[in-house]
Structure 1
């Protein structure tokens, strides 16, 4: 079988670069086009020397006539850019948007956190997302919506970590919908590949941690609430039933997210033992190969998931505080962005879900 040809827009950024790294080693894809903006005409050998097989590719303009003609188009562009471009892309190509333009289902949420034109919601690319329960009590998942789709919206990285940490408790009614708190330690690549105050020079960043987008302003919040609503078997329009205190903190590491998500225990949860609560997480992720519920007493660490599409998970209870604490460690560029996108792309094209991906991290 011939390989699928792939064009990647935003190829010299962190997200686009990680997509290229994964796809370059994928048995079913052939990267034939890289596109950018400020780097047009430059060799990929300059921008991605860690991917030598792409060295001879030259960055082209991010234009529909450049991207069209490929089987797969990956958009790793700032919010607003992919939405404007998408309507001009080949309807027969599979297009994966790594940005925010097609994630949200409700325009009111987009208007509040992003502003500008609101674009059509695409098939959401988080296969393990719980979307409700079947008649037999088993979970339904977003995976079922992916086969055959031509348009995939890649989730946000902070969204991924927060959702995967807490969704089993939401699905089983173990946590209250109000007063959910998420504190995330985030590597600097999560702030993008540009110099700004939240992406400091090494002399300022290496010995320091810095919160950003605080006070309910982070743009991933409505997407997280949308996922929480779906995990509870509700529509996106009911996401306002949940409240989330969300604080991301940049830490001196290049990659990784460690999410600590806590919520008040429901009366149902209070009747369960710690072992029974842990069993809920175990059941929720049974058969989900990239989801790793760590042994009891072992907490996730970002150093163990770098370079992998895995999520390391743990859950504990604080009976005195009456709260459940759920943890997730992911690589923000892999599981949080490009790896999860390739996983969803595999499903859409009928390929093995784990093709080109690994749950083995790089350590130390």
Structure 2
């Protein structure tokens, strides 16, 4: 069986990466490619690397046109995706079609209206099924419940890219009670594509090359409540997580390298083999490469993640170690922000919702150098 997929916001970075994956997906036929101000242009003017789609004309974002498809992917900024999703749901309620909706923006991620108002503001949209297949639930050591939820849904909210890196780094230790999430610190090196295509002076090459720029410092980053929400799903007591998150733009196009530190719990602190206890939690959650989690690789001891090895892929590489002098666990995770951070997560979740093998169409090999 073949499913038709429309992409709204097809000319942005996220839309382009989703189309790159879908163009090689054996069960997907790419339908309407829509946008706002760039409607009428050829897709190749915005994504010249997508040769098979370069001569396709970008259409206006029309609800009736989108509703003709089996799947609609919303690759739009927050606010815009929520508004379009509401219009689609209202329109399809009076028709026989109920397309699978996948939102790559933030509108349907948060379960707390208060958190939405504090970090985003504006109208709050009801949360959809969270599009992170590897998300642990309380009492689990593998992510069975999250995959079951995705397999039975028609509405998917794709996680934020920084959220993915920090969650995949921290959740095994948090779920096992081996780290203290009341003192959680995350510093992320982030590629410039994470800032989108908006033309701002600080994103120009003259400002970016040879320079590292922090942003959303001091507890202001919008991904903070989403990370906390995920750790609470994994079993951390609600209201106890305190997260300091500092992203830093670095001179690379793609990628996130997250360094997460947290004090260890008593069983680790007083153990003769703290590294073994810590590693066992990540090993149980993620397995050896290709075992429990096909897209998360817990690296061999002493090998640390790098963004170059996951560029262009849907992979995440993770490592954990114990810093004896500081009494903290140090966990690192590398992802491609447009790959595992957005498009690959969307395609993984799409596959589960359609009953397909999870990694169909997902690129499982990185590109380096």
Tell me which residue corresponds to 1:170: 174
Distance apart, 1:88 and its partner CA: 2.2
Tell me which residue corresponds to 1:152: 156
Query: Quick one: distance in 1 between partners of 2:268 and 2:39?
Result: 56
CA contact (8 A) 2:104 2:342 kept: yes
CA contact (8 A) 1:128 1:141 kept: no
Tell me which residue corresponds to 1:17: 16
CA contact (8 A) 1:150 1:348 kept: yes
Of residues 94-103 and 65-74 in structure 1, the stretch that sits farther from structure 2 once superposed is 65-74
Distance apart, 1:140 and its partner CA: 4.6
SS at match of 1:352: coil
Tell me which residue corresponds to 2:68: 69
CA contact (8 A) 1:132 1:139 kept: no
For structure 2, list consecutive stretches of 5 or more residues without a partner in the other structure.
none
Of residues 309-318 and 225-234 in structure 1, the stretch that sits farther from structure 2 once superposed is 225-234
Deviating runs (4+, > 6 A) in structure 1?
none
5 Å matches for 1:1-364? Answer: 1=1, 3-89=2-88, 90=92, 92-133=98-139, 140-199=144-203, 201-232=204-235, 238=238, 240-272=239-271, 273=273, 274-286=275-287, 287-364=292-369
SS at match of 1:133: coil
CA contact (8 A) 2:201 2:207 kept: no
TM-score w.r.t. length of structure 1: 0.95
Query: Quick one: distance in 2 between partners of 1:271 and 1:63?
Result: 61
CA contact (8 A) 2:129 2:153 kept: yes
CA contact (8 A) 2:179 2:262 kept: yes
Distance apart, 1:139 and its partner CA: 5.7
CA RMSD of aligned residues (A): 1.3
Distance apart, 1:141 and its partner CA: 4.0
Query: Quick one: distance in 1 between partners of 2:235 and 2:207?
Result: 42
Of residues 168-177 and 80-89 in structure 1, the stretch that sits farther from structure 2 once superposed is 80-89
Of residues 316-325 and 97-106 in structure 1, the stretch that sits farther from structure 2 once superposed is 316-325
Deviations 1:297-325 (A, max 9, x none): 00000000001111000001111111001
TM-score w.r.t. length of structure 2: 0.94
Query: Quick one: distance in 2 between partners of 1:38 and 1:358?
Result: 31
Of residues 271-280 and 296-305 in structure 1, the stretch that sits farther from structure 2 once superposed is 271-280
CA contact (8 A) 2:316 2:335 kept: yes
138 and 210 in structure 1: CA distance in 2 versus 1, 3 angstrom threshold: closer
For structure 1, list consecutive stretches of 5 or more residues without a partner in the other structure.
none
Distance apart, 1:132 and its partner CA: 1.4
Query: Quick one: distance in 1 between partners of 2:143 and 2:122?
Result: 36
SS at match of 1:185: strand
CA contact (8 A) 2:151 2:354 kept: yes
